[in-house]
Amino acid sequence: MRYLPLTEADRSAMLETIGAPDVDALFSDVPEEARLTGPIEGLPMHASEMAVEKHMRRLSKKNLAASDAAFFLGAGAYKHHVPASVDHIIQRGEFLTAYTPYQPEIAQGTLQMLFEFQTQVARLYGCHVANASMYDGSTACWEAVAMASRIARGKKRKVVLSGALHPHYAEVVKTMAKFTEDEIAHASPALQAQPDNDGLIARIDDDTSCVVVQYPDILGRVTDLQPIADAAHEKGALLIVVNTEPVALGAIRSPGEMGADIVVGEGQSLGVGLQFGGPYLGLFAVTSPKHVRQMPGRLCGETVDAEGKRGFVLTLSTREQHIRREKATSNICTNSGLCALAFSVHMTLLGEKGLRRLAMENHCLACHAADRLAKVPGVSVLNDSFFNEFTIRLGTDARAVVRTLAERDILAGVSLGRLFPNNAELADGLLVAVTETTTEEDIETLASALEEVLS
């Protein structure tokens, strides 16, 4: 077996040192009736690298890769071009095969990278401090809600979710709240050009620990969050802003500027790739220094070594489970380190100039797509405002249209029926995302196919 270096001679010599007659003697504490005598049945035996690769390639080919289609899916995961050097860097063994940097003297590479990453995220979000990442956007969203409950010390039990929050994020919050007994106020969005911010504000009361809004929202709309922040703060509640497309923040104002207290999001767009949903990258930041010690997750901080040289360490770990056990701010002990590296490298390659250009390229192509699709008979564009994703209405069940177009290698978007299966009023809605990877030809392909299918 190519991954196992011990030879039979090694094994015999080692057993002799140990003083055991055979390897089975080392398993003598396993009750005999439970001990397996041979390889587990129903599973294949070992296979060569070539054979395994062939098998996996066959499975891979049963999928339609995004790059082989006219591709318009978004809704929390976006297809962007990732520079080749990003993948090269994350495959360096010193990053790929390192452990969590608990031994800082031999982990400065990971630690300095995390410090740079935290700074990049904090600036992108317009925040004071960002952590070293979390599992993904949806779990980061729940962690933010849990943090707001902690800050309210259990005295406020109500969580107000915007109807235009990604429904899977809302589901995660609802799932977890069942167990923490937070009360969740949530409704599906209405198909309107503007989100119902007044309705949202009306749901905030003195028992509200936090308000959660998405920006740009699930339908792609972009609005000023300041009035929501003001209303929340007036009732002593925190404003949590969720962002699922970090590239947008190269074009639109940061949540931190508009009064957000906690900003969380999905970082997948930069460096990580689509990967069928994971691993992704949860981003988490706060605007106020007073909330830093309530944050979940790892934090990397600057310090000096015994010779006075600058260095970095994981810090404020008295919030964490390995120290605090049942009193920890979160049970999570892993971040998404390698994805954070990919994000950070991609962001470094872009720089502010590149990020702004990338954002405008996305936006301009999306404007072009919206205009072109609006000309398709039967199609109307819902949004007045959007970044790189907008909602169109087809006048018929969008799920069926999506399936039909997929037969022609057109991945037309995410149907609102898939996202909100219990709301028939949304069934004709289709979310269309456009990025720098979308060509004018792709847009034309989608528009003409829709013309055909809807006629």
Partner 1 sequence: MSAPNQSGWKPGTPVEDHNAMSGPDTVTGNRALMLEEPLLFEIGHVETTGVDLPEPSGATTRLGGMDRAEAIGLPGLSEPEAVRHYTRLSRQNYGIDLGFFPLGSCTMKHNPRLNEKVARMPGFADVHPLQPVQTVRGALEVINELAHWLIALTGMHGVAMSPKAGAHGELCGILCIRAALEARGDARKVVLVPESAHGTNPATAAFAGYEVEDIPATPEGRVDLEALKARLGPDVAAVMITNPNTCGLFERDMKAISDAVHAAGGFVYCDGANFNAIVGKVRPGDLGVDAMHINLHKTFSTPHGGGGPGSGPVVLSEALAPYGPLPYVVRGKDGEVHLVEEENADQYGHTQSFGRMTAFHGQMGMFSRALTYMLSHGADGLKQVAEDAVLNANYVLRSLDDVLDAPFGPSGPCMHEALFSDAGFAEDISTLDLAKGLIDEGYHPMTMYFPLVVHGAMLIEPTETESKAALDQFIAALRSVAERAKAGDATLKTAPHYAPRRRLDETLAARKPVLAYEEPVAPSGQPTMSEQGGR
Using CB under 8 A as the binding rule, the residues of this chain from 333 to 392 that contact partner 1 are: 333-339, 341, 345, 347-358, 360-361, 363-364, 367, 370, 383-387
Phi-psi region of 223 (alpha: psi -120 to 50; beta: other; left: phi over 0): beta
Does residue number 112 form part of the binding site for partner 1 (CB under 8 A)?
yes
Rank residues 22 and 206 by Cβ distance to partner 1 and give the closer one.
22
Among 21, 154, 199, 277, binds partner 1 (CB under 8 A): 277
- Compute CA 56 distance to the chain's CA centroid, rounded to the nearest angstrom: 26
Residue 43 makes contact with partner 1 by CB under 8 A: yes
435 is an interface residue for partner 1 by CB under 8 A: no
Residue 290 near partner 1 by CB under 8 A: no
- The helix or strand, by DSSP H or E, that contains position 159, with its residue range, turns out to be strand 158-161
Pairing of β 282-286 and β 414-415: unpaired
Q: How far is the CB of 207 from partner 1 (least distance, A)?
A: 20
What is the dihedral sign for C-alpha 385, 387, 393, 394? Answer: positive
Name which position in 70, 159, 222, 237 contacts partner 1 (CB under 8 A). Answer: 222
Rule CB under 8 A: is residue 119 a binding residue for partner 1?
A: yes
How many other CB atoms are found less than 10 A from the CB of residue 270?
A: 27
Position 438 contacts partner 1 (CB under 8 A): no
User: Which residues, numbered 414-433, are part of the site for partner 1 (CB under 8 A)?
Assistant: 414, 418-419, 421-422
DSSP conformation class of 37: -
Name which position in 188, 197, 288, 321 contacts partner 1 (CB under 8 A). Answer: 321
Interface with partner 1, residue 59, by CB under 8 A? yes
* Pair 259, 239: CB distance under 8 Å: yes
For tokens 């949004």, name the residue: 383
CB atoms within 10 A of CB 103: 10
DSSP 160: E
Among 8, 153, 290, 306, binds partner 1 (CB under 8 A): 306
* Residue span binding partner 1 (CB under 8 A) among the ranges 157-165, 198-206, 216-224, 440-448: 216-224
Instruction: List, edge to edge, every strand of the sheet that includes 129-130.
Output: 129-130, 282-286, 262-266, 238-243, 208-214, 158-161, 183-185
Cβ atoms 156, 208 nearer than 8 A: yes
In terms of CB distance, is 236 or 278 closer to partner 1? 278
When asked if residue 135 is in the footprint of partner 1 (CB under 8 A), the reply is: yes
Region binding partner 1 by CB under 8 A among candidate stretches 149-157, 199-207, 232-240, 411-419:
411-419
> Near partner 1 by CB under 8 A, which window of 153-161, 199-207, 304-312, 442-450?
304-312
- CA gap 382, 292 in Å, rounded: 39
Q: Which is nearer to partner 1, 30 or 205 (CB)?
A: 30
Between 162 and 223, CB nearer to partner 1: 223
* Window 136 to 155, contacts with partner 1 (CB under 8 A): 136-139
Nearest approach in angstroms of CB 355 to partner 1 is: 6
Q: 11 or 206, CB closer to partner 1? A: 11
Element (H, E) at 349: helix 337-374
Q: Nearest CA to 441 among 357, 376, 363, 369?
A: 369
Contact residue for partner 1 among 154, 183, 202, 324 (CB under 8 A):
324
Is there binding between residue 187 and partner 1 (CB under 8 A)?
no
| Listed residue (416, 412, 440) closest to 428, CA to CA | 416
Distances (CA, A) of 103 to 18, 90, 99, 108, 452: 31, 20, 9, 9, 61
Q: Which residues of 212-245 are buried (b: 16+ CB within 10 A; e: fewer)?
A: bbbbbbbbbbbbebeebbebbeebebbbbbbbbb
Nearer to partner 1, 133 or 209 (CB): 133
Report if residue 67 touches partner 1, rule: CB under 8 A.
Answer: yes
416 burial via Cβ count (<10 Å: 0-12, 13-18, 19+):
buried
Q: Is 71 in the site for partner 1 (CB under 8 A)?
A: yes
In the bound state with partner 1, the residue whose beta carbon lies nearer, of 150 and 233, is: 150
151, 191, 292, 454: which one contacts partner 1 (CB under 8 A)? Answer: 292
Q: Does 439 bind partner 1 (CB under 8 A)?
A: no
How many Å apart are CA 430 and CA 403, to the nearest integer?
12
| Contact of 98 with 110, CB cutoff 8 Å | yes
Is 8 a residue that touches partner 1 (CB under 8 A)? no
Residues 73-102 that bind partner 1 (CB under 8 A): 73, 75-77, 79, 83, 85, 87-101
- Applying CB under 8 A, which part among 109-117, 151-159, 228-236, 445-453 lies near partner 1? 109-117
Q: Which is nearer to partner 1, 206 or 440 (CB)?
A: 440
Token duo for residue 356: 């702004």
